Amino acid sequence: MRSLTSLIALLSCSTCLIFAQSTTDTGLGDIQDAITSYLGPSYAQVSGSATSDDPLPSEYATSNKKTFILSNDFEITDQTQIREYNFEIKAVTANPDGYERQIYTINGEFPGPLIECNTGDTIRVHVKNSLDIPQTIHWHGISQNGSNVMDGVPGITQCPIPPGQNFTYEFPIVQQYGTYWYHSHFANTMADGIAGPFIVHSPDDPVQRGRDYDNERVLLIQDWMHDQSTDIVAALKSADGYRGSPGAPKGDSILINDVGHASPDDPNWPEGVECNPPPRAEVPVIAGQRTRFRIINTGAHSMLRVSMDQHEFEVAEVDTDPVYGPTIHEIPVAPAQRYSIIVNATLGQAGDKFKLRVHVAAGCMDKVQQDTWAVLRYTNNNEEYDDKGEEPEDKPWDDLAAFDSPCRDLDDQYTLSPRVAIDANVKPLQTLSLSSKFGTFLGTQGQNITGFAFNNISFQNQIWDPVLPQIIDNGKYTNENVAQVVFDQDGYVDLILNNLDGGIDHPYHLHGNEFQLIKRGDGNLTVEEAQAMDLSNIVNPLRRDTIFIPGNAYAILRIRTDNPGVWALHCHIGWHLAVGKLATVIVRPQDMQKFKQPEDWKGLCAGQNSTQEGPARRSVAPTSAPVSHLRNPRDARSRDRSRKGSMRD
Ligand SMILES: *[C@@H]1O[C@H](CO)[C@@H](O)[C@H](O)[C@H]1NC(C)=O
Ligand SMILES: *[C@@H]1O[C@H](CO)[C@@H](O)[C@H](O)[C@H]1NC(C)=O
Ligand SMILES: *[C@@H]1O[C@H](CO)[C@@H](O)[C@H](O)[C@H]1NC(C)=O
Ligand SMILES: *[C@@H]1O[C@H](CO)[C@@H](O)[C@H](O)[C@H]1NC(C)=O
Ligand SMILES: *[C@@H]1O[C@H](CO)[C@@H](O)[C@H](O)[C@H]1NC(C)=O
Ligand SMILES: *[C@@H]1O[C@H](CO)[C@@H](O)[C@H](O)[C@H]1NC(C)=O
Ligand SMILES: *[C@@H]1O[C@H](CO)[C@@H](O)[C@H](O)[C@H]1NC(C)=O
Ligand SMILES: [Cu+2]
């Protein structure tokens, strides 16, 4: 073990290192390489300190400005190309908010590198897993039309990449553009840092650079934990729960562009550990110009409300769809949702600063106020300023939502009209439903499972025996470890999502497809009740891929079945996903039998125990390990080390 003094030395050092790649005075021209030439470290380099005796990896996370500041030099074109990336998933040390911990990264970068391309491009990502647990990467919002095998969901579309092995994801971007992101889909290890932005441009995007906005930024917001996700999930599965509760935890801090400000006054702050937060994130805009912010909530639990002092903004994109939206002062963003907002920097000149605020929507959590802010900085050309810690003046809008007001999606409060209008003007060919709730359910071995379920099936992840190859081979899936709805018609169908949890709201994400939001309502709905409604003439409904549904409420989603495949539908509160909240939407299985099964993809399953269950299961068998010591990070780390070997159980 390291001595306390060397730990403190490392704490302050990590602050400089995480900003090691910041530049002080340049515009972006010189740091923005052609994105195609962005290649990570060589595969020869073995990392993953995760099995080392040392409590923290010696390598520190780096922060890359290119991830947040999109270059106007990027050519938006219909000339397509292959974009190739090397991703090494590895453990490093980081201090994003004053608390130093081991995180998981792509190439040591936190957040992961930007993927930027045009519609029609082919994305090729060589992923090397240098952790000692399996991994997959999912490309959130990408339709994977014809490339279902690349969707990255362990136990559904693939066997995960075993520790030390590699796999190449390759897929074309078919007919779509907008704001996407990528993240780990293995248990909830996304919450340890494996996530990054994925931006698809198109000359067809009705929100045009140069006409509708001048500059483009990525704004990543998320809640952040001080414990490793594997420890948190293990505790959630135990009789004692995590921090005394089976419920998803509130964040220890909130990060804006991966910088936060934890407080040692927080009741969960470990005693005797110094809190040494990095400087607030600087979010540069160019004075006098309009900036399109592509906001992505990459967090594991909290809906977050974003505002900028004195600046109103126009909502121009929802998930991936350009919209005519309202001009407002604050926007709620649920986990995994994306919004583009356009902000005019017309209230000052280079050097001026304002607070960019992120408030936790605590009405659907613990009703405890939790806020953070970054510096919205006026610049000439993205140059950096040093204020010696002087804060921007407090000038919040006076109509911001109360922290404990109900959590509601933006479409529940304002009209959002897709700019590419598509009416829902047909009668659905099929209507099916998925009802989800927390409870105790019967497992495949006759055991009782406590956790979340869809249609009374709590997902038991057979990670080494995935669903997709079975449908390709047999035309159907017969195991009862995961709920399924099967749409075999070619046309438009309706999916009812009932959230039967009285007090718990959830963000639901459908892979592979965006849906038209046909109807929301209170209570629950049966298929018969939906079929009795007239839902065949709805003018240009909102389309998106992640929808927030309050407790005791439902939504009807219309899906065009033009993308055959097995598509995960799950809660994007990662802590809920990790305890069973995933179902499958199987589209035209008869047309999946022509899918190719690449050799290297099949090879990921080779030599594994196909009956062994993955980590997404909660059993009622109480674990003996007391969880109170999670409050002590040093213990948590050594425990983490000793438990890792069992992660594949
Ligand atoms: C990827 O894995 C394959 C099969 O294990 C191996 O042959 C190859 O050398 C690996 N490639 C890299 C770049 O590590
Ligand atoms: C930004 O300024 C332009 C030009 O003055 C104006 O048309 C637009 O409405 C403004 N947008 C917002 C969100 O204020
Ligand atoms: C599961 O729970 C039910 C109801 O509480 C109980 O009757 C049954 O014995 C339990 N089954 C097992 C295998 O523990
Ligand atoms: C789930 O189980 C409950 C209680 O056993 C039952 O009433 C309900 O119909 C089941 N729901 C589904 C969708 O199977
Ligand atoms: C559905 O709602 C009705 C009230 O409209 C309620 O009686 C019933 O219990 C609900 N069903 C479920 C499964 O929660
Ligand atoms: C998927 O590709 C097929 C052609 O292979 C096309 O007909 C369909 O519209 C596409 N769907 C989507 C959502 O891209
Ligand atoms: C495979 O996994 C199952 C379930 O965990 C276990 O019962 C069985 O012993 C394992 N088989 C081998 C060969 O390890
Ligand atoms: Cu949930």
pLDDT in tens, 513-539: 999 999 999 999 999 999 999 999 999
Q: Is 263 in the pocket of ligand 3 (CB under 6 A)?
A: no
Ligand 8 (single-atom ion) residues, CB below 5 Å: 506, 571, 573, 576
CATH of the domain at 509: 2.60.40.420
**Quick check: 159 and 467 in contact, CB under 8 A?**
no
Please give the pLDDT value at position 143.
Answer: 98
Q: Is 175 helix (H, G, I), strand (E, B) or coil?
A: coil
Average pLDDT of the residues in 145-169: 98
Average pLDDT of the residues in 540-568: 98
Average pLDDT, the chain: 87
Q: How many CB atoms lie within 10 A of CB 539?
A: 10
How many residues are present in the chain? 649
Edge-to-edge strand list for the sheet holding 582-587: 483-487, 582-587, 565-571, 506-510, 546-549
- Ranking 27-41, 237-251, 444-458, 472-486 by mean pLDDT, the lowest is 27-41
Cite the beta strand spans of 185-312 per DSSP E.
195-201, 215-224, 253-256, 282-286, 290-297, 304-308
The helix (run of H) or strand (run of E) holding residue 588 is none
Q: Is 320 in the pocket of ligand 6 (CB under 6 A)?
A: no
pLDDT at 626 over 50: no
How large is the angle between the packed helices 229-237 and 633-644, nearest 10 degrees? 80
Please give the pLDDT value at position 55.
Answer: 77
Shortest CA distance to 296 belongs to which of 366, 194, 217?
Answer: 217
Tell me which residue range forms the domain holding 475. 431-603
* Residue 55 alpha carbon to ligand 5 centre in Å: 50
Average pLDDT of the residues in 143-147: 98
In a domain, 488, yes or no: yes
Count of structural domains within the chain: 1
Q: Is 523 in the pocket of ligand 5 (CB under 6 A)?
A: yes
Residue 464: C-alpha distances to residues 208, 424, 485, 495, 589 (Å): 44, 39, 22, 29, 21
Q: Rounded to an integer, what distance in angstroms lies between the CA atom of residue 163 and that of residue 326?
A: 47
Please give the pLDDT value at position 625.
Answer: 32
Q: Give the global pTM.
A: 0.89
- Tokens 């079945």 found at: 561
Position 46 confidence tier, pLDDT thresholds 50, 70, 90: very low
Please give the pLDDT value at position 389.
Answer: 78
Q: Which residue's CA is the closest to the ligand 3 atom numbered 2? A: 448
Q: How many CB atoms lie within 10 A of CB 53?
A: 8
- Taking the CA of 342 as reference, the closest ligand is 2
- Rounded to an integer, what is the distance from CA 69 to the centroid of its chain? 19
In a domain, 367, yes or no: no
Q: Rounded to an integer, what distance in angstroms lies between the CA atom of residue 99 and that of residue 95?
A: 5
> Among 435, 437, 524, 528, which is best to mutate for testing ligand 5, by the most ligand atoms less than 8 A from CB?
524
Please give the pLDDT value at position 35.
Answer: 22
- Taking the CA of 147 as reference, the closest ligand is 6
Three-state SS annotation for 347-397? CCCCCCEEEEEEEECHHHCCCCCCEEEEEEEEECCCCCCCCCCCCCCCCCC
Q: Is 379 in the pocket of ligand 6 (CB under 6 A)?
A: no
- Ranking 102-116, 237-251, 322-336 by mean pLDDT, the lowest is 237-251
> Among 432, 435, 456, 525, which is best to mutate for testing ligand 4, by the most ligand atoms less than 8 A from CB?
456
Please give the pLDDT value at position 622.
Answer: 32
Question: HSE on the CB side for 226, CA within 13 Å?
Answer: 27
Q: What is the pLDDT of residues 373-387, one digit of tens each?
A: 999 999 999 999 988
Please give the pLDDT value at position 11.
Answer: 27
Residue 588: C-alpha distances to residues 58, 433, 591 (Å): 49, 17, 6
Please give the pLDDT value at position 43.
Answer: 27
pLDDT at 119 over 50: yes
Q: Which residue's CA is the closest to the ligand 3 atom numbered 10? A: 448
Position 15 confidence tier, pLDDT thresholds 50, 70, 90: very low
Q: Which residue has the higher pLDDT, 393 or 637?
A: 393
Phi-psi bin for 155: left (phi > 0), alpha (psi -120 to 50), beta?
A: left
Average pLDDT of the residues in 457-464: 96
Q: Which residue has the higher pLDDT, 630 or 371?
A: 371
In a domain, 437, yes or no: yes
Average pLDDT of the residues in 463-485: 97
In a domain, 242, yes or no: no
Q: Is 439 in the pocket of ligand 3 (CB under 6 A)?
A: no
- Give the tokens for residue 403: 């922290």
In a domain, 455, yes or no: yes
In a domain, 480, yes or no: yes
**Quick check: 179 and 220 in contact, CB under 8 A?**
no
- What residues contact residue 159 under an 8 Å CB cut-off, 6+ apart? 463, 464, 466, 604, 605, 608
Q: What is the DSSP letter of 120?
A: T
Residue 382: C-alpha distances to residues 351, 375, 440, 514 (Å): 10, 13, 53, 35
Please give the pLDDT value at position 642.
Answer: 29
Position 189 confidence tier, pLDDT thresholds 50, 70, 90: very high
Please give the pLDDT value at position 586.
Answer: 98
Residue 190: C-alpha distances to residues 98, 301, 333, 338, 463 (Å): 20, 12, 18, 17, 17
Q: Is 447 in the pocket of ligand 3 (CB under 6 A)?
A: yes
* Residue 619 alpha carbon to ligand 3 centre in Å: 12
Please give the pLDDT value at position 329.
Answer: 98
Please give the pLDDT value at position 386.
Answer: 86
pLDDT at 619 over 50: no
pLDDT at 38 over 80: no
Q: Which residue has the higher pLDDT, 521 or 50?
A: 521
Q: Rounded to an integer, what distance in angstroms lies between the CA atom of residue 314 and that of residue 567?
A: 32
Q: Rounded to an integer, what distance in angstroms lies between the CA atom of residue 110 and that of residue 194?
A: 8
* Residue 464 alpha carbon to ligand 7 centre in Å: 12
In a domain, 484, yes or no: yes
Residue 141: C-alpha distances to residues 106, 121, 361, 430 (Å): 20, 16, 24, 24
Please give the pLDDT value at position 338.
Answer: 98
Please give the pLDDT value at position 451.
Answer: 93
* Residue 278 alpha carbon to ligand 4 centre in Å: 50
Q: Which residue has the higher pLDDT, 643 or 207?
A: 207
Q: What is the pLDDT of residues 306-348, one digit of tens each?
A: 999 999 999 999 999 999 999 999 999 999 999 999 999 999 9
Q: Ranked by mean pLDDT, which of 429-433, 446-450, 610-614 comes out on top?
A: 429-433
Average pLDDT of the residues in 453-462: 97
* Residue 441 alpha carbon to ligand 4 centre in Å: 10
Q: Rounded to an integer, what distance in angstroms lies between the CA atom of residue 595 and that of residue 471?
A: 10
Position 237 confidence tier, pLDDT thresholds 50, 70, 90: confident
Position 615 confidence tier, pLDDT thresholds 50, 70, 90: confident
